[in-house]
Chain A
C-alpha cells in the first residue's frame, strides 16, 4: 500500500459531524413574524409573577436575560423587556421545515430538541466531500426558506461539533479539524463541556479541574472513582474521543409531567392534592403511550428556586397506577418541606429496553 492510499484510509475512518443550532429560536421566530420586535429585547414567556422565560432574543441577552430565568428576575435586569406569548404550533412547523432541509443531506439526523440536531455527513446524499460546504449550504437554505439564522459546528464527533456550534454564534460556522480537536479541548473551560452540568463543573473545580487539559491529567480509574460511570465519558472526551453514533431515532429516555403552581403550596393537603394531579397526569402519559419504566423521580422546586429530586428504582417496571401512586407518596415523605413549594414534577425513567435495564441483580432467598 502506498502512502497516498494510506492517507485515504485514515481519512475514511474520520467521521464528519455537523451540529446545527437555530439562533435564539423562539425569539427569532417572533421577531420574524412581528417585524416591530426586530432589534428589541424580547423574550418568549409570561411576565406573570410565576412566569419563566422560554427564550430570549440576542438583544435581551445583552442585559443578562437567559432562558429558564424567572420573568421577574429578567424584568429587573431589563425593565423594557417585551414579553411574547409562545406559539408552539408555529415553532413546531418551522422546526419541521428545518429538519426537512437537513434530511436532504443525510438520513443520519439526530434531533436534540426542537431547534438543534446532529448530522453525520461522512457519506451524504449530495456526495459532497466538504462538511463545511454542506453546513454553509444548509445555513443558506434555512435562511432562504425560513428567514431565520442557524449556527453550525463541524468536527469529527458529536461532542466537539456541539461545542463548535457555540463558538461563532449567532449566524456563524466553526470548524474544528481532526488535528485541532485535542488542542481545542485542552484549552476549553470545563464549564463549557457539553454534558458537564453546573454541579459537576463545581465538583471538578474543587478537584482542581478547570480545563480539558486538567481533565486529561486524570487516570480513567481516578475519574470513575470520583464521578462514577460517567467518568469513562470524561476520560474519552478529554482526549477528543467520542464514538457515539448519530442516532436518527433517538429513543425516549423518560416520560414526565410537572406543574408550576399559581400560588406556592404550603400545606400537606395542598401538596398531596397536587401530587395526585401529577400521578393522574403521569399515568395518562405513560399508559397512553404504553411506556413503562423502573425509576420514579419526584422533583420539588421551592419558592427560593432550590430544587430537590428524589427517586426510587424498582426491580420491575411500573405498570400499575397504584404502584406509581404509592411510590410517589413514599418519595414525597423523603422531602423536607420547610419552604413553600413552587413546582412539583413526576417522571418515569429507566424505560424498558434501555441498556441500563440489564444491570444484574442479586436474587435473595424468599423467607416468609
Chain B
C-alpha cells in the first residue's frame, strides 16, 4: 500500500496519539503506532492496553489498503525535523518494509504486522449509558479536578476522576485525601443517574486532545470501559472499578468564618514566604484578624522566618490555621475567579475555597485539610 501525506499534518495527528505510546512496554508492538489505510482515509491508533487513542485524516492520494504498525519514536523524531512537504509512504505488505520518501531522500524502517495490534475493547451495548456534552465543558471538568487525584496504590478509586451524571447536574470529583475538588455543571444533565471513575492517565490524554476539539464529545460507558467520541479523536479506556467514597459527607456545610482573599496576591505571597518554611513540612500559617491576613512561615532548624501582611475581608473572631503551602498554592491556582472565599471552622478542620462569583451553571468547590502544629 502507498499514500502521500503532508508531513506537518501527519505530525500533528501523531502527536495527538503519541502520548499514549509507552516507551517501556512489556509488549513490543505497543511501542508502535498502528496505521490503517482504507475508505479514503488514514486512521492512526496508539494504545497502552489501558487506553487507546484513535485519530484519522482524509487523504486523496491512496493506493491499496491494509494495516501496519510503525515504530513510534523514530517516526515522530524524524517528522519533527522535516520542513513542511508532501511525503510518500511506500509499504511492501509482504516484507513490511516501509520507505518514507521525501524531497531529498528516503528513510526506511521495518514495520510490524498490524493484526498483532491489540483490539480496541468494545462497550457492552446492553449495559451502556451515553451522554453528550460540549468538548469545552468536559475540558473544564478535567482541568479543574485532575490535579487533585491521588497516587494511591491501595485505593485505586482515588487515582481517578469521579464523573457523576444526574437530571440535576454533571459532577466531576477528585481527591487525594488532603484536598478535594468538586466541579458541578447544571447545564449538562442526563435523564438517568449514573457515574464512572476515569483514571488519571486517560484523563490527561483526553485533556490533551480536548483542547484541539470544538464540537461535542459523546461519552458511552459500561461498567468496564468508556468510549469518548470527538470530532477528530476517539479514546477508549478501561475504567477504575470500585466505589468512590461518599465525598459529599466530608464537605463541611456551615463553616462559620468566611474570608474573602485576593487569589493572586495570596499565591504570590505563598511563593515568597514558603521559601522560609520548614522544608519537610512546608507549613505556612495564615493569621486572620479583621481585614488583615498574615502569611507566615519559619524553619527553626535553620533559624529563618518570614511573614507578609495582606488585606482581606473578614469580620469574625481572629483565627489562625496552618496549611501545606504547596497544596494551598496549587489549589488557589486552579480556582478561576479573582477573589476567593475561604470558609474556615477551626485549625483542625477542613477549609473550603470557593470562587467569589460561584453562580450560573458552574459550581466550583475546593477543600483543603489543614496542617496541625500540635497533633
Contact = CB atoms under 8 A, between A and B. Distances in A.
B301 A229 contact: yes
Given A357-B374, A360-B322, A362-B324, A367 B369 contact: no
Contact of B281 (A229, A315, A360, A366): A360
Given A229-B301, A359-B281, A368 B371 contact: no
A360 B250 contact: no
B245 A315 contact: no
A368 B246 CA distance: 8
Residue among A315, A361, A363, A364 with most chain B CB within 10 A: A363
B148 to A, nearest CB: 11
Contact of B372 (A363, A365, A367): A363
A365 B247 CA distance: 10
A292 to B, nearest CB: 15
B180 interface: yes
Contacts of A362: 178, 281, 324, 369, 371
Interface string B165-182: 000000000010110100
Contacts of B247: 367
A207 to B, nearest CB: 21
A365 B371 contact: no
Given A365-B177, A365-B367, A367-B177, A358 B250 contact: no
B350 interface: yes
Contacts of A316: 375
Contacts of B250: 365-367
Contacts of B350: 365
A72 interface: no
A232 interface: yes
A233 to B, nearest CB: 10
A172 B201 CA distance: 71
B283 interface: yes
A201 B175 CA distance: 44
A130 B137 CA distance: 81
A362 B278 CA distance: 13
A137 to B, nearest CB: 38
Nearest to B323: A362
Interface string A324-364: 00000000000000000000000000000000011111111
B249 interface: yes
A229 to B, nearest CB: 6
B369 A364 contact: yes
Contacts of A360: 278, 281, 283, 322, 371-373, 375
Contacts of B322: 360
Nearest to B373: A360
Nearest to B372: A361
Contact of A363 (B249, B281, B301, B348): B348
B370 interface: yes
Contacts of B374: 357-358
Interface in B313-327: 322, 324
B246 to A, nearest CB: 7
Interface in B353-375: 367, 369-375
Contacts of A361: 371-372, 375
Contacts of B372: 360-361, 363
Interface string B216-253: 00000000000000000000000000000111011000
A92 B302 CA distance: 41
Interface string B244-269: 01110110000000000000000000
Interface in A215-245: 220, 224, 229, 232
Given A315-B375, A359-B281, A367 B245 contact: yes
Nearest to A367: B245
Contacts of A357: 374
Contacts of A365: 175, 177-178, 180, 250, 350, 367, 369
Nearest to A366: B250
Most buried by B among A229, A361, A365, A366: A365
Contacts of A358: 373-374
Nearest to B175: A365
A224 B279 CA distance: 11
A315 to B, nearest CB: 5
Nearest to A232: B301
A204 to B, nearest CB: 20
Nearest to A220: B302
B162 to A, nearest CB: 12
A356 to B, nearest CB: 11
A229 B246 CA distance: 40
A195 B367 CA distance: 45
Given A229-B301, A316-B375, A360-B373, A368 B245 contact: yes
Nearest to A316: B375
A338 B180 CA distance: 46
Contacts of B370: 363
Nearest to B285: A360
Contacts of B283: 360
Contacts of B302: 220, 232
A364 B372 CA distance: 11
Nearest to B348: A363
Contacts of B281: 359-360, 362
A311 to B, nearest CB: 18
A357 B246 CA distance: 33
Contacts of B180: 365
Nearest to B324: A362
Nearest to B249: A368
Contact of B177 (A224, A229, A364): A364
Given A229-B301, A232-B301, A363 B371 contact: yes
Contacts of A224: 301
Nearest to A229: B301
Nearest to B179: A365
Given A232-B301, A360-B373, A362-B178, 16 more contacts: A232-B302, A315-B375, A360-B283, A360-B322, A361-B371, A362-B281, A363-B178, A363-B371, A363-B372, A364-B177, A365-B177, A365-B367, A367-B175, A367-B177, A367-B246, A368-B249
11 contacts: A229-B301, A232-B302, A358-B374, A360-B278, A360-B322, A360-B375, A362-B371, A364-B177, A365-B177, A367-B177, A367-B246
Return the 6 tightest CB-CB contacts between A and B, nearest first: A367-B245, A361-B375, A363-B369, A360-B281, A360-B283, A364-B177
Interface of A: 220, 224, 229, 232, 315-316, 357-368
